[in-house]
Structures are given as structure tokens and as C-alpha cells.
């Protein structure tokens, strides 16, 4: 299985919040992502959900008692601490956060955390006033200073019925934080990568647009993969159905022109620009001010060429383009490398099985500025991203 969590040992700490039920979903998604999940529950957590539920989802023992003579682990806080690739406390109560800030170790979770060197993610979940309390704020600040990744909390409806800050983040966001925490000191730490994604929308009139079938999945996977290697990532995206990746600066645009401006603004400080977006080559020369009426049998719309963002973007960064082709893949991609002065192009045959728009996998060919060709096998878009980033890393200008 591919992805940042495959075969990773994740210690999932669950403490006594009403949001405990959401930790079951997190455990399930972690397992589906290939992680080996060891759950440690506080006494409070066991009052909300049962250890059996976690055991059934993770297929592994659940720890609830430091002094259990029948434990499957020798000295379990040390055993789990040593094998952990990452520890995540979700939900984390006010009480647990306070104990962590003080370095207390009076239960199996806090004892494991203090015995571990693995990255720690803490996802607070609590009522708004509990979160706002100066003690909680000071404790969170202490944890941040120590390098703990604080995930959230989110804003929205709280269990009390009130609305405010204190919601446990949703599972996809938590997964993003966990991947980020594992890779934040990775080989892209200190680098800025700008990625574009999605298919631009060029307005015909206030109702209609010209667009294409790009789902944005390749660009979003690239943004996540770069984040998971420690990069600061800016994702400039045309509209997609995808959720914003956690810990990525996301700039939403619609048209090629807007994308060009946003890319240029961020690329100035970037180490790499990866243009995975499907940018319209042509747009309606004039956008009608009112909805065009259905009067004549034919409607002719005159199109004007859009600016080539990758060709015109100014700055000293690694330039990576994408070429989605339906014929003569390598020849067409090679001519783009030369005409746009690219460092690398990722060519994909959109007619190939398991490739292209909307799919979770892609089969691409990488062509560098010397026109050397490397054909990659069918891979997940996340794995393709890492292969691209490996090449980008070797091309960094300083
Ligand atoms: C119904 C109920 C819901 C609770 N929800 C939360 C919560 O969301 N966040 C929180 O910090 N504490 C919450 N508490 C309080 C904690 O359970 C309590 O502070 C407990 O001592 C936490 O211990 P633990 O961190 O060891 O699990 C809740 C308590 C009850 C009875």
C-alpha cells in the first residue's frame, strides 16, 4: 500500500471528550491508509466509547491501564513509545493538554508520550470557554514551543449546542496533520513549492463557462506530498470537488488570468513551480454582460489565446510542466520542454487505462531539460508526486 501512513506505527491516544466517537473514524481511516494503530484510552475515554470498538477496528490490543498484569506488552508505555512513528491525541481534553504541558505521567497515554521521541500531534476538543481559558491557552502555547503539532480545534457547532471554537477537526484534516508531523523535518524542509491544480473556468456569460475535465487530484496529491516532506506549499487551484489539504496555503481562483496572477505572486519566493493545472489555452474573447439568449440555430463564440503561465512566470525556481496528450505523447512533451524552457515535464497519456482525469492513479513519463525520458509505471498520484519531487530536489537552484 502506498501513502505516507503505510506500515507506520501510530499510537492513537483517546481522552474523555464527547468527540471520542470521532476517534473511531480516525482509527478506521488510519488502518485503511495502512497504518498499524495502537490505541491508548484514558479512563474518561472509556466512559464514552469502549476499548472493544477500537480493538475491532484496529485489530490490535487497546491499552487502558498502566498496571494491567495481563497486558500484551512487556512494559507497554516504553514498548509503544519506542515503536511509534507518530503519536496523535484525538480528541485531547483540557485535562490531558494540561498534563502534557506539565510533563505528568499518571496514566498509560501520558507515560507513553513522555517516554517517546516520535512527533506528537494534539487535537483539542472542548467547549469554547474551556478552550479560551488562559490556562488552556498557556498550556497549548507551551506544547507548541516544544514542537508539538496542535491540530485545530475547528470552529462550528459544539456538543453543548453552542457554536464556537473547540470542535475536533474532521478525519481528513487530522490525517493531513499526522502526515505533516511525520515529515515536517523532511528533505523539503525550508523549501517553498508552488503547485497549481484543477481546470480553469473561462466565462462565456454570467452563467456559462468553458472548462475541462481536470479533477485537480494530481495537483492536490503533489501539494500533500510536498507538505509531507516538509515544504511550505502554496496550492493555486481552480474549482474542484476536493477539500483543501491541511497545512497548505490554498489560493482559490477561477480563470487562467487569475491563476497567472496568483502563481506569479507566490512563485517569486518559490524554489519550485509545478503547474499541474489544466489551464485553458483559449478563452472567450469577450464575456457577455448578460446571459446569451437561445435565439439562433448557431452560436459562434470568438476565442482569444490565454497567457502561458509557466512560460511567462518570472523567478529563479525549478519549472515543472505537465503535458496531457492524447497522441504523440513524448514528441509533443519534448517540444514543450524546449519552447517553455522547462526543467522537467510530466507527460501523461490521457487515453491510457488508470491514467489521467479523475483517476487516483497515473502513468506518466518524465522528460528533463536534456530531453532524457523516464517512463514510470502505473502509480498512485501520491507516489507519482514523490517521484516528481525526487527529480525536483535534484534540480534545486541553490
Ligand atoms: C459528557 C461529558 C463530556 C465531556 N466533554 C469534554 C470535552 O469535549 N473536552 C474536555 O476537555 N473535557 C470534556 N469533559 C470533561 C473530561 O471528561 C474530564 O475533564 C476528564 O477528567 C478528562 O480526563 P482525561 O483527559 O483523562 O480523559 C466531558 C465530560 C463529560 C461528563
Cα–Cα distance for residue pair 55/157, rounded to 1 Å: 29
Q: Is the CB of 23 under 6 A from ligand 1?
A: no
First-to-final CA distance of the chain: 34
Atom of ligand 1 nearest to the CA of 107: 26
Which secondary-structure segment (H or E) carries 380?
Answer: strand 379-380
Instruction: Note the CATH number of domain 192-395.
Output: 3.40.50.10300
- In the Cβ-directed half-sphere of 42, how many Cα atoms lie within 13 Å? 25
CA of 116 to the centre of ligand 1 (A): 24
Which residue in the list 7, 129, 139, 212 is annotated as catalytic?
Answer: 212
Cα–Cα distance for residue pair 350/278, rounded to 1 Å: 12
- Integer CA distances (angstroms), 300 to 103, 211, 286, in order: 71, 17, 12
Which pLDDT value is given to residue 352? 73
Low-confidence ranges of the chain (pLDDT < 50): none
The residue to mutate among 14, 16, 89, 106, having the most atoms of ligand 1 within 8 angstroms of its beta carbon, is: 16
Beta bridge partners of 236: 196, 251
CA of 125 to the centre of ligand 1 (A): 9
Indicate the domain borders of the chain.
Answer: 9-183, 192-395
Cα–Cα distance for residue pair 297/20, rounded to 1 Å: 61
CA of 42 to the centre of ligand 1 (A): 10
Which pLDDT value is given to residue 361? 86
Q: Is the CB of 64 under 6 A from ligand 1?
A: no
| Cell 470568438, residue located | 302
Q: Is 332 one of the annotated active-site residues of the chain?
A: no
The residue to mutate among 18, 51, 93, having the most atoms of ligand 1 within 8 angstroms of its beta carbon, is: 93
Which pLDDT value is given to residue 348? 87
Beta bridge partners of 364: 348
CATH top-level class of 9-183: alpha beta
CA of 165 to the centre of ligand 1 (A): 16
pLDDT digits (tens, 9 = 90+) for 335-349: 999 998 999 999 987
Cα–Cα distance for residue pair 298/150, rounded to 1 Å: 58
- Integer CA distances (angstroms), 246 to 145, 224, 338, 353, in order: 20, 8, 35, 30
Which pLDDT value is given to residue 326? 79
Cα–Cα distance for residue pair 113/87, rounded to 1 Å: 7
User: Which residue's alpha carbon is nearest to atom 1 within ligand 1?
Assistant: 18
Which pLDDT value is given to residue 171? 97
The pTM of the full predicted model, rounded to 2 decimals, is: 0.92
Which pLDDT value is given to residue 349? 79
User: Which residue's alpha carbon is nearest to atom 10 within ligand 1?
Assistant: 93
The residue to mutate among 12, 46, 95, having the most atoms of ligand 1 within 8 angstroms of its beta carbon, is: 95
Which pLDDT value is given to residue 248? 97
Q: Is the CB of 44 under 6 A from ligand 1?
A: yes
- Asked, colleague to colleague, whether 9-183 and 192-395 share their fold, the answer is yes
Quick one: residue 205, left, alpha or beta (phi over 0 = left, psi -120 to 50 = alpha)?
Answer: beta
Amino acid at each position: 500500500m502506498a501513502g505516507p501512513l503505510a506500515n507506520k506505527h501510530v499510537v492513537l491516544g483517546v481522552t474523555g471528550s464527547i468527540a471520542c466517537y470521532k476517534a473511531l473514524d480516525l482509527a478506521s481511516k488510519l488502518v485503511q491508509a495502512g497504518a498499524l494503530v495502537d490505541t491508548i484510552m484514558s479512563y474518561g475515554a472509556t466512559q464514552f466509547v469502549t476499548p472493544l470498538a477500537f480493538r475491532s477496528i484496529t485489530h490490535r490490543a487497546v491499552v487502558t491501564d498502566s498496571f494491567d498484569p495481563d497486558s500484551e506488552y512487556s512494559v507497554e508505555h516504553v514498548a509503544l513509545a519506542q515503536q511509534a512513528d507518530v503519536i496523535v491525541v484525538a480528541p485531547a481534553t483540557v485535562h490531558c493538554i494540561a498534563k502534557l504541558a506539565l510533563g505528568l505521567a499518571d496514566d498509560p497515554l501520558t507515560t507513553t508520550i513522555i517516554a517517546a521521541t516520535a512527533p506528537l500531534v494534539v487535537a483539542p476538543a472542548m467547549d469554547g470557554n474551556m478552550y479560551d481559558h488562559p490556562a488552556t491557552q498557556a498550556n497549548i502555547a507551551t506544547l507548541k514551543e516544544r514542537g508539538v503539532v496542535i491540530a485545530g480545534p475547528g470552529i462550528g457547532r459544539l456538543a453543548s449546542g453552542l457554536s464556537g471554537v473547540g470542535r475536533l477537526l474532521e478525519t481528513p484534516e487530522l490525517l493531513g496533520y499526522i502526515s505533516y508531523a511525520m515529515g515536517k523535518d523532511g528533505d523539503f524542509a525550508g523549501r517553498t513549492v508552488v503547485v497549481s491544480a484543477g481546470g480553469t473556468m473561462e466565462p462565456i456569460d454570467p452563467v456559462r463557462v468553458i472548462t475541462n475535465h481536470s479533477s485537480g487530484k494530481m495537483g492536490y496529491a503533489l501539494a500533500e506530498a510536498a507538505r509531507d516532506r516538509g515544504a511550505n506549499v502554496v496550492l493555486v487551484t481552480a474549482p474542484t470537488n476536493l477539500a483543501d489539504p491541511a497545512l497548505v496555503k490554498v489560493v482559490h481562483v477561477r480563470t487562467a488570468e487569475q491563476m497567472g496572477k496568483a502563481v506569479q505572486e507566490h512563485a517569486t519566493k518559490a524554489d519550485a513551480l509545478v503547474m499541474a493545472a489544466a489551464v485553458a489555452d483559449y478563452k472567450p474573447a469577450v464575456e457577455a454582460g448578460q446571459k446569451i439568449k437561445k435565439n439562433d440555430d448557431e452560436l459562434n463564440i470568438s476565442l482569444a489565446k490565454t497567457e502561458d503561465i509557466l512560460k511567462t512566470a518570472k523567478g529563479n525556481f525549478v519549472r515543472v510542466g505537465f503535458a496531457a496528450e492524447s497522441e504523440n505523447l513524448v514528441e509533443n512533451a519534448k517540444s514543450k520542454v524546449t519552447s517553455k524552457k522547462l526543467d522537467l515535464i510530466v507527460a501523461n497519456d490521457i487515453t491510457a487505462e488508470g491514467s489521467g482525469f479523475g483517476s487516483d492513479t497515473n502513468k506518466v513519463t518524465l522528460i528533463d531539460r536534456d530531453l532524457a525520458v523516464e517512463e514510470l509505471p502505473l502509480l498512485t498520484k501520491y507516489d507519482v508526486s514523490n517521484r516528481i519531487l525526487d527529480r525536483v530536489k535534484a534540480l534545486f537552484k541553490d
